[in-house]
Structure 1
Amino acid sequence: MVRPPGQLIEKTIKRVSESKWTKLFVLTSILQAILVIVLEGRVYAHNNREKRFLELKPEECKVADSITRINNIMQENLVFMGFQAFQFLFCVNAIYNQNTIQMIAIAVINYVCALFGIVQIFETVKWRKTLTDTIDGLPMDKCNGKDGDGRPYRDLLNADIISFEVPLVAILLIFGTGLGFLAFKLYQQFGWNIYKRIGADLRKQSIYRTMLIFVMLLKLDIFFMLAFSILALVVLNINSETKIRRLNSGAFYFHLGLTILIVIMQFLAYISVEKNGEPEWLSSPSSVSLLTAIWSFLVLRNFNQGLKDLLDKGKHDENTNNTHNMENTRPTPPRWQIEDDDD
């Protein structure tokens, strides 16, 4: 059931104000979103300054690959900041629906984000090392290994990690632990409410829990699928300055169509589970599975028709021309969410 905006806001305020634990949970998520976005924004601004300085170097400095890589890192920074805003809404939604599974998932996600922060450190180290190794082997009058403030890149490596990357990881670990504790308290608080709503029937409890997990995954899915799909559209845009490699227009618009289809299929799945309509429920995954099966058959028909020779020739040409193409990877996104229609 879709509530009018007034009722939605009223119920949200009521649920958030229900106890000190609900208030602390939402307040903690607000503080986390603000702090992490600010810290990640510092990282983004620092990377942007580095990129602009590299763009001023002459072509013979051979920093084009480093510029492309820092562009990709900056786009990851933007996705990370966007996810923090999404996670705040995700926290409020968990309180609104009194979904303890979603609250526990939020704490786990924070540790995953901290892991991403650690990966980001390794990416920065690798990028900086590649850059310094490239520049140090070139004439120092044109390609000196210094940043915009005249500081040597090699001297900045550890300083940058300590001042930009480490605080972000520490904050995520602290808030992840705090939200985990609050989720445990809310699990105790909401457990009785859910018991009164569903009763002692273990089968009904299992069905309800399965539905909550499915809807929670849908919510996460819509963010991750769209975030990485839109990011891929930007990076691989046929007119993009920051492209990893050039796509032909057909492949680009095919990807665009899939991105739009993602939104439609997620919406249908959400509506289906809410209405408990079995045929509609099955239509979403079945349609995608059927489409995949048909396309797999079309690909299979091309086997032993010279496809392998074309692929081998492409690899040979790639090695001959010494091209440097990076594979665009898009993680299979998780899919999460929760729903609660009753007060």
Structure 2
Amino acid sequence: MALEALLSTRAQRFFMVTILLQGFVVLAMVATVFAFVEEDVDLTLPQYKTVPCYLALFILAEIFELLMAFDALRLRNVIQLMGILGFHLGLIVFAAIQIHETRAALVRPKPQNASQGSGPGSLWEKVLPYLIVSPCILGASWLALVFWIRELYFEFGWAIFHVVGANPAMKTMYQFYQIMICLLKFDFFCFIGVTTQLLIVVLQTNSAEFGVTIAAIPVVLFLLVGAGIAVQREIKWLMSISLVMMLAAESYFIFKLVRFYEPSSREQYQTTRTTLTVFTILAFLLLFATFAVGLRCFADFDKGLQSSKTHGQSYRPVATKLTKLDLFGADDDTEGGTQMQYSDGAQLQPRISIE
């Protein structure tokens, strides 16, 4: 019996290498932009804070994507791999938006010197090539990830079968559980992304809104962790509280969207309004999807899936070859008394599973 170990296959290794390489290149480009801007302007001024926030968010995003990729391979979770593709597309959009946001921060309507304009010799002209490289690298790496995830899809085809067996109903319930856990992980990143931008770029430490934002952090973290524990261990009272808190969090995101555009506060969000709007809408939609899937998972409680959820898909070696397969049901009582064994036979083709 041949055993398959974590990162032992070509698709797994190249998938992780792609994530690592694009992360290094993109972070190098973002750090270069930060260094150029830091040399030329005072980053403590409100209009320039979008640049350190840009760096902080990309560091967070690349670390998060790397951890999610390794976790998806460890769990052989195709659904999470698909989520990474969507997340990577989001990074491409974010990198493209940052070109506009950085220009809004660096180029003054009435520049007092050449550095504040957009012409030759300006700071904007210096950093523009590095800003353009980031979405290009992310786009090229996305295409590579599509190829490697396709390979992993076939490689992990039997993973869910090993967890819940061949029962279609159990398989469907387990897939919704996987989707729920995956959504909670991306909810965490979106919330941290919105909060980071608000605390670094926009809000003053002495404002009431700053206090509300700080207070929301432990509440939302408790919500996400509590929902994950509740859906895994099928704790009904904790799941009920989590679902109610999700609706409350949705109202918080609506409140923030209104604040971005209402006349009394829109000026303070000027340099980051586009990015904040995209992040907040995405967080709202993801949390709404989490609520809907959470209701479905709640309906599946006490139907025999808890053991599979708890002991689930930790990366155990999986047999990839069966040898001397007895197609005719031979046993010890057949002529010659030979017992059929699994050894040195033809490799089975992977079975496709829609996960």
Alignment CA distance shift 1:97-1:111 (3 Å): same
- 1:107 correspondence with 2:111: no
Query: Is the counterpart of residue 263 in structure 1 residue 263 in structure 2?
Result: no
2:101 corresponds to which of 123, 129, 133: 123
8 Å contact from structure 1 (residues 41, 81) kept in 2: no
Q: CA deviation at 1:284?
A: 0.8
Give SS of 2:8's match: coil
Q: Which residue in the other structure is 2:236 paired with?
A: 278
Give the Cα separation in 2 of the matches to 1:226 and 1:128.
Answer: 25
What's the CA shift for 1:156? 4.6
Amino acid at match of 1:331: T
The CA deviation string for residues 126-177 of structure 1, in whole angstroms up to 9 with x for no partner, is 4444x1x312xxxxxxx32236xxxx74125684465211211111011111
Does 2:24 correspond to 1:24? no
Task: Look up the SS of the partner of 1:16 in the other structure.
Answer: coil
TM-score norm. by structure 1 comes to: 0.69
CA contact (8 A) 2:99 2:128 kept: no
Distance 1:120 1:292 in 2: 26
Aligned residue type for 1:285: L
Change over 3 Å in CA distance of 1:153–1:23 after alignment to 2: same
Aligned to 1:303: none
What is the TM-score of this pair, normalised by structure 2?
Answer: 0.67
Matched-pair contact (CA < 8 Å) for 2:57–2:193: yes
In the TM superposition, what whole-angstrom CA distance separates every residue of 1:284-317 from its partner, at most 9, and x where no partner exists? 1224547989xx9xx9xxxxxxxxxxxxxx96xx
Q: Distance in 1 between matches of 2:12 and 2:249?
A: 44
* Contact 2:223-2:245 at 8 Å conserved across structures: no
Q: Which residue, 134, 137, 145 being the options, matches 2:110? A: 134
Change (3 A) 1:274 1:21: same
For the 8 Å contact 1:230–1:259, the answer to whether it is kept is: no
Deviation at 1:184, TM superposition (A): 0.7
- Is the alpha carbon distance of 1:230 and 1:177 closer, same or farther for their aligned partners in structure 2, counting shifts above 3 Å? same
2:208 maps to 1:218: no
**Residues of 1 paired with 2:102 and 2:200: CA distance?**
22
Are the counterparts in 2 of residues 121 and 161 from structure 1 also a CA contact under 8 Å? Answer: no
User: CA separation of 1:144/1:287 partners in 2, compared to 1, >3 Å: closer, same or farther?
Assistant: closer
Q: Secondary structure at the match of 1:146?
A: helix
- For residues 133 and 113 of structure 2, the distance between their equivalents in structure 1, rounded to whole angstroms, comes to 30
| Letter aligned with residue 88 of structure 2 | N
Superposition pairs for residues 162-173 of structure 1, below 5 Å? Answer: 163-173=129-139
Q: What is aligned with 1:86?
A: 64
Q: How does 1:153-168 map to 2 (within 5 A)?
A: 153-156=118-121, 159-160=125-126, 163-168=129-134
Q: Relative to structure 1, is the Cα distance of residues 271 and 324 closer, same or farther in structure 2, using a 3 angstrom cutoff? A: closer
158, 161, 174: which one pairs with 1:208? Answer: 174
What is the aligned-residue RMSD (CA, Å)? 3.3
Question: Which residue is 1:331 aligned to?
Answer: 280
1:96 aligns with 2:74: yes
Answer whether contact 1:16 1:26 (CA < 8 A) is retained. Answer: no
Query: Using a 3 Å threshold, how does the CA distance of structure 1 residues 15 and 93 change in structure 2: closer, same or farther?
Result: farther
When residues 101 and 233 of structure 1 are mapped into structure 2, their CA distance, relative to the original with a 3 A threshold, is same
- Contact 2:72/2:78, CA 8 A, preserved across alignment: yes
How many residues in Structure 1 have an aligned counterpart in Structure 2? 273
**Structure 1 residue aligned with 2:113:** 144
Please state which structure has a larger fraction of its residues in helix. Answer: 1
SS at match of 2:28: helix
State the alpha-carbon separation in 1 of the partners of residues 66 and 178 from structure 2: 19
Give the Å deviation of 1:88.
0.5
5+ residue gaps, structure 2: 256-261, 291-308, 317-355
Q: 1:34 to 1:178 in 2, by over 3 A?
A: same
